[in-house]
Each structure stands twice: as C-alpha cells, then as structure tokens.
Amino acid sequence: MSPIRPFVTGLILGMIALVGVLFVVPGSPPAAGKVEKVEYAPEEFGEKVCGGSTAGVPRCPSPPAGFQLKNPGIPSLARCRGACGPDCNPLDCAPGDNVCLRATACRVPNPASHVLCVENADRTQHRRCTYAVTECGSHPACVRHDQCFDNCVAFRPPAEVAECQNGCNVECVENWGAVSCAQWAIGQGDQPNTLRYTDPPIEGAVQNGPCS
C-alpha cells in the first residue's frame, strides 16, 4: 500500500488482508446428506488388471459435483477460496472463542456429511464415498479478492507479494467501498451466496453389483 494513502484507508486495508480465497464452482450444489449415484467411464477412473484390460473400478470424485476442496493445495496454502472471512473452519476456533467464531463466515451444516454411491461403467461394482462438508458465505468481492491474493503468491517473486496483495486490498476498496471490504474481511457483511467445501473422501470398500 502506498504510504501517501490516508491512515483510515490503511487501517481498513490491513483488516481486509485477513481474507482467505478459492474459485467459484458453477452450478447448483446437491442437497446435503443425500445419497447420489454417479457413473464414470473406465478410461477416466479405471485400474489396470491382469492382461492389460481396464476393469473400471469405481473411484470417488474429489471434490464431488457442486463442491470445492476445502484445501485445494495451492501455493498460498489458503483454504476455502472464495469464502468471506479469514478462514473456513469454525472447528479451528477454541471453545468459547467468540471472536474467532465471528470472524468466519463458515459453518458445519447439519447433516455434516455428503454421501455418494459410485458405480463403474458396467454397473458390476460400486462403493460409497463420504465427504465432510463445510459451508461458507460468499460475495463476488470475496471471490475476486481471494483470486487476487492467490495469484500474487503464485506468480510474483516473494519480495513483491506483500505489495501485490496490498494492491488487491486497494482494488476491493475502490470497487466496493472500505466499509464493505472491512466487513467481509472479518466474515461479516453482505454474503448472498453459499459455497460448499469438502475434505478428500472417505472411500468405502468396493462392493459387487450396482448401487442399491
């Protein structure tokens, strides 16, 4: 941030720098807790077996449709990208730490898991896939800010990251106003959208036959 900017703007931008970030996955998310059935072609999720043929062993998608990975494994190490607020897991907050809870726009829904039944192409095998779910409030400004922060880490030299991210804060203030950006930075403010995140799946054992 330029040293000639007013003190108040600098204070607000410092608060905004707490925001974490990911990309929006389009489409309507499936209902939480619903058991769904999906199919994948052998060439996409197959395993090689004796004789070199493809058996089409069912594999759990990660993430499933309508979700993002809580930890996408990006250079910034940030999680729940696109969510407003500094982090995405209210379980990270210590018991009774209401300040921490107010600073996250995320929650563990009820039910807290999403279950898929996945079949192979010829429906001779299936397995259950269980995902722990986190839901977070989002706004296009939070999505854009997270993308900007992550791009700074991914594509700028380490010495330029701080200045680059300050530019992301300035962009937010110029486009949406200092008050709104400060609210989003602490997990508050207008959040018209909900993003859903999962951990990697817990894969059940492969069973014979189709999903019941």
Residue of 176, 31, 150 lying closest to 80 (CA atoms)? 150
139/204 Cα distance (integer angstroms): 35
- What pLDDT shows up at residue 28? 36
Position 62, amino acid:
S
How is residue 187 annotated by DSSP?
T
Which pTM was predicted?
Answer: 0.69
Q: What is the pLDDT along the chain (212 residues), one digit of tens a residue?
A: 333 333 233 434 444 443 333 333 333 333 333 334 443 333 333 332 323 223 578 999 999 999 999 999 999 988 899 999 877 766 666 666 666 666 677 888 888 899 999 998 888 999 999 999 989 999 999 999 999 999 999 999 999 999 999 999 999 999 999 999 999 998 889 999 999 999 999 999 999 999 98
- What pLDDT shows up at residue 115? 94
- Kindly state the helix (H) or strand (E) to which residue 117 belongs, with its residue range: strand 113-119
Burial 93-128 (b: 16+ CB within 10 A, else e): beeeeeeeeebbbbbeeeeeebbbbbbbbeeebbbb
3-class secondary structure per residue, 62-114:
CCCCCCEECCCCCCCCCCCCCECCCCCCHHHCCCCCHHHHHCCCEECCCCCEE
